[in-house]
């Protein structure tokens, strides 16, 4: 059993399918918290997912918001008002995350920024002695992921929880255990797909002046200097290479993570083959690919595939996103609403080769993932989604994009060397070029 699975079972008691779960953190949710167990957090990047993660923190007694940081004063003031109104807490406001890290009262930071801003705050926070909850994908390039892992290993008194929250979901853990218990026989491949309208970005618009209250130079940070365009800012930044990687690094990371977990994979795939491009919606502004087909091949005779067709909301098994874990005895089809096990048919016995099963659930598992993080802050345990786990799936997703961007199509990844063994053109995408005065941290 891998460490993350062991830690989950230890913390939740969800060792068997359908067992009642009484989380070890339940007394934090419903009872008083000793002064020594108070946790002070700050949020860097307040607009959307980051603020949702903060709210899950503040829903736990004994967690205090002592800092909010954003480059948009409008967002900053709006969220500060919500924290004051809903939680009765007055957070100090910051426009520069480096000032946040100077505050010695802060125990942990949440990095909810666009992807290109994940690396620097995470490494600097570890250097400052803070624990970190960083959203996925772990970073916007392969080398940033590498250095974040090195930093977590070097500054090991603190830890990082990567926001791949399905690792904390009970039904995902149940699926994982069913596979490991042999309920579908040998797992041969996992098909993963995610079709979403938002993957095509927004309708094209002309550049505009920077909105009042926005520090756009700070928003760009290490990314190259560029004019302001509303279709590359709030809501759609992830469809541009300087800031994100499109659907495969957004939804793809969550789902591909489950495919890797089923085989306890914690390193990137050896072989990546990808095809696709921007094949439709020419009136929408996006650089990342609206259409992709990817194969990740591992040495142990295991294959993971990823497919997306942005601008559509249909997909295999009548689900716009999900996974199909394909084994010799049956297939498990899953998404965040639950799963079903569909047996293969035995012609000789005139019966299914395994028992059918179905489970319906509700929830995104963000709350459980945050609860795991807060428990780890108090107990100094490793969280269920470590930087090594985050790196494996992020490198895979970035490699898929690089296979198409470089024109190579087929790439061989050498994890020891941290490079592709068959394409110098692809290797040019491994290490990002930071805009001065920002520098990729040495660890």
Please write down the long-range contacts of 357-365, taking CB distance under 8 Å and 24 or more positions apart: 357/178, 357/183, 359/171, 359/174, 361/169, 361/170, 361/171, 361/336, 361/337, 362/337, 363/169, 363/336, 364/165, 364/336, 365/165, 365/166, 365/168, 365/169, 365/172, 365/336
Residue ranges matching CATH 3.40.50.720 in the chain: 3-167+367-386
pLDDT tens-digit map of 197-245: 999 999 999 999 999 999 999 999 999 999 999 999 998 999 999 999 9
Are the C-beta atoms of 4 and 173 separated by less than 8 Å?
no
Residue ranges matching CATH 3.30.360.10 in the chain: 171-363+392-427
- Closest to 325 measured CA to CA, from 309, 338, 341: 341
Instruction: Specify the 3-state DSSP secondary structure of 358.
Output: strand
The angle, 0 to 180 degrees and rounded to 10, between the axes of the packed helices 251-261 and 387-405 is 120
Q: In which band, very low, low, confident or very high, does the pLDDT at 31 lie, cut at 50, 70 and 90?
A: low
Q: In which band, very low, low, confident or very high, does the pLDDT at 4 lie, cut at 50, 70 and 90?
A: very low
Portion of the chain with pLDDT greater than 70, in percent: 93
Average pLDDT value for the chain: 93
pLDDT the model gives residue 238: 97
pLDDT tens-digit map of 70-125: 999 999 999 999 999 999 999 999 999 999 999 999 999 999 999 999 999 999 99
pLDDT the model gives residue 34: 74
Q: Which residues pair with 68 in a beta bridge?
A: 43, 93
Length of the chain measured in residues: 443
Are the C-beta atoms of 45 and 117 separated by less than 8 Å?
yes
The angle, 0 to 180 degrees and rounded to 10, between the axes of the packed helices 170-180 and 251-261 is 40
3-167+367-386 homologous superfamily = NAD(P)-binding Rossmann-like Domain (3.40.50.720)
pLDDT tens-digit map of 324-366: 999 999 999 999 999 999 999 999 999 999 999 999 998 789 9
The torsion angles phi and psi of 343, rounded to 5 degrees, stand at: -70, 150
171-363+392-427 homologous superfamily = Dihydrodipicolinate Reductase; domain 2 (3.30.360.10)
Span 153-181, average pLDDT: 97
Give CA–CA dist 247/278, Å, rounded. 12
């Amino acid at each position: 059993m891998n460490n993350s699975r062991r830690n989950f079972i230890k913390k939740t008691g969800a060792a068997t399918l359908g067992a009642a779960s009484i989380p070890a953190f339940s007394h934090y949710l419903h009872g008083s918290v000793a002064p020594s167990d108070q946790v002070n957090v700050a949020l860097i990047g307040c607009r959307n997912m980051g603020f949702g993660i903060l709210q899950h923190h503040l829903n736990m007694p004994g967690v205090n918001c002592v800092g909010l940081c954003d480059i948009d004063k409008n967002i900053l003031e709006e969220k500060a008002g919500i924290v004051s109104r809903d939680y009765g807490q007055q957070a100090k406001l910051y426009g520069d995350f480096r000032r946040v890290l100077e505050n010695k009262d802060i125990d942990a930071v949440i990095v909810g920024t666009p992807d290109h801003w994940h690396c620097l705050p995470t490494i600097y926070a570890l250097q400052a002695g803070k624990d970190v909850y960083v959203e996925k994908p772990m970073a916007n390039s392969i080398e940033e992921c590498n250095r974040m892992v090195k930093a977590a290993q070097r500054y090991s008194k603190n830890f990082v929880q990567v926001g791949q929250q399905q690792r904390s979901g009970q039904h995902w853990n149940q699926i994982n255990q069913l596979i490991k218990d042999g309920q579908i026989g040998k797992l041969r491949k996992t098909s993963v797909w995610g079709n979403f309208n938002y993957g095509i970005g927004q309708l094209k618009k002309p550049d505009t002046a920077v909105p009042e209250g926005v520090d756009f130079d700070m928003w760009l940070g290490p990314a190259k200097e560029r004019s302001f365009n509303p279709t590359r800012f709030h809501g759609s930044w992830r469809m541009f290479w300087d800031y994100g990687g499109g659907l495969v690094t957004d939804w793809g990371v969550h789902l591909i993570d489950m495919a890797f977990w089923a085989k306890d994979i914690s390193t990137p795939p050896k072989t990546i083959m990808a095809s696709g491009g921007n094949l439709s919606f020419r009136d929408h502004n996006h650089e990342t690919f609206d259409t992709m087909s990817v194969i990740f091949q591992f040495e142990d005779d295991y294959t993971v595939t990823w497919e997306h067709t942005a601008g559509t909301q249909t997909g295999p098994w009548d689900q716009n996103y999900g996974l199909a874990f394909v084994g010799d005895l049956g297939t498990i089809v899953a998404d965040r609403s639950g799963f079903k096990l569909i047996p293969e048919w035995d012609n000789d016995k005139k019966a299914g080769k395994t028992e059918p099963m179905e489970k319906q659930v509700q929830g995104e598992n963000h709350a459980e993932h945050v609860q795991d993080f807060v428990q780890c802050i108090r107990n100094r345990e490793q969280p269920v989604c470590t930087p090594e786990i985050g790196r494996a799936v992020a490198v895979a997703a970035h490699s898929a994009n690089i296979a198409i961007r470089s024109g190579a199509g087929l790439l061989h990844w050498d994890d020891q060397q941290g490079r592709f063994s068959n394409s110098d053109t692809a290797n040019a995408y491994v290490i990002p070029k930071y805009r001065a005065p920002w520098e990729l941290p040495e660890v």
